[in-house]
């Protein structure tokens, strides 16, 4: 028998906002399937929901001071660039202009994994956007598509705003470290609950598979891969090459 297992993800290494976002998305995937999950996954999901609630309470305490007016304003501006970057290709998907339609299709496919990132916690959204921009800049066909659609400047503005917002967070790390105690205290239980739920789904897929469990397993694995790539980008940001004179 070939046993399946989830893709590698060092959950304990995720920042607290990232962990909260991962757990939240996992619960949103599993909750509608609750009647078909089985006894053990149901119990594990209940524990995961409780852990998420406790972690959220800790985060709210920490974020009261962190979410200053300037940060909120910059995040709103960043979301505006993201909205426009996603909106423009969508508007050209049925265009009669063959070049723009092709460019829109290329860009639309690339952007699919990043739809909804605006709902992520602010600091974790920063990592997601950095990952998106890095991949965009490394692929000439995406740059060409953006140029055809006239949104190449939006990517530049998004990167600038994202870097500026990240700088504010980095500068405030020491100032707000005392506020993070509440959320940090809840993190081990949240990590344990997430791992336990993943284990329950993994075991169900291996020993009592159903179409529902299989679909949930695959979706959860996609999320793990996505968060792994974001965390790698956060730990290893691209080195900016000085412009030639």
In a domain, 137, yes or no: yes
Query: What pLDDT does 175 receive?
Result: 52
- Whether residue 108 lies inside any domain: the answer is yes
Give CA 13 to chain center in angstroms.
15
> Does residue 6 form part of some domain?
no
- Does residue 4 sit within a domain? no
The parent domain of residue 96 ranges over 14-235
Sign of torsion over alpha carbons 147, 111, 77, 169: negative
The contacts of residue 84 (CB under 8 Å, 6+ apart) are: 151, 154
Question: Does a structural domain hold residue 70?
Answer: yes
DSSP H helix total and E strand total for the chain: 10, 0
pLDDT confidence of residue 124: 81
Whether 245 is covered by a domain: the verdict is no
In a domain, 191, yes or no: yes
The one-digit pLDDT tens for each residue of the chain (245 residues) are 678 999 999 999 888 888 998 999 999 999 999 999 999 999 999 999 999 988 888 776 555 555 567 778 888 999 999 999 999 999 999 999 999 999 999 999 999 988 888 888 887 888 899 999 999 999 999 999 999 999 999 999 999 999 998 888 766 654 555 555 667 888 999 999 999 999 999 999 999 999 999 999 999 999 999 888 887 776 665 555 444 44
Domain count, the chain: 1
201, 216 contact by CB (below 8 A): yes
Residue 9 placed within a domain: no
Q: Considering just the CA atoms, what is the radius of gyration of the chain in Å?
A: 20
């Amino acid at each position: 028998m070939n046993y399946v297992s989830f893709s590698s993800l060092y959950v304990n290494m995720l920042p607290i906002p990232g962990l909260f976002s991962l757990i939240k998305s996992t619960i949103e995937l599993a909750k509608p399937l609750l009647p078909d999950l089985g006894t053990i996954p149901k119990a594990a999901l209940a524990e995961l929901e409780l852990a998420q609630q406790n972690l959220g309470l800790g985060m709210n305490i920490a974020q009261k001071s962190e979410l200053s007016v300037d940060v909120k304003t910059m995040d709103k501006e960043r979301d505006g660039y993201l909205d426009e970057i996603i909106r423009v290709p969508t508007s050209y998907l049925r265009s009669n202009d063959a070049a723009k339609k092709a460019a829109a299709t290329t860009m639309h496919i690339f952007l699919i994994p990043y739809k909804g990132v605006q709902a992520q916690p602010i600091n974790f959204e920063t990592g997601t956007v950095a990952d998106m921009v890095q991949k965009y800049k490394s692929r000439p066909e995406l740059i060409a598509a953006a140029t055809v659609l006239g949104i190449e400047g939006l990517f530049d503005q998004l990167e600038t705003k994202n870097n500026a917002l990240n700088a504010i967070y980095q500068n405030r790390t020491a100032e707000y470290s005392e506020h993070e105690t509440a959320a940090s205290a809840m993190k081990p239980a949240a990590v344990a609950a997430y791992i336990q739920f993943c284990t329950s789904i993994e075991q169900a897929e291996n020993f009592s598979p159903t179409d529902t469990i299989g679909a949930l397993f695959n979706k959860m694995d996609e999320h793990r891969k996505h968060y792994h790539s974001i965390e790698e980008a956060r730990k290893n940001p691209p080195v900016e090459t000085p412009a030639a004179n």
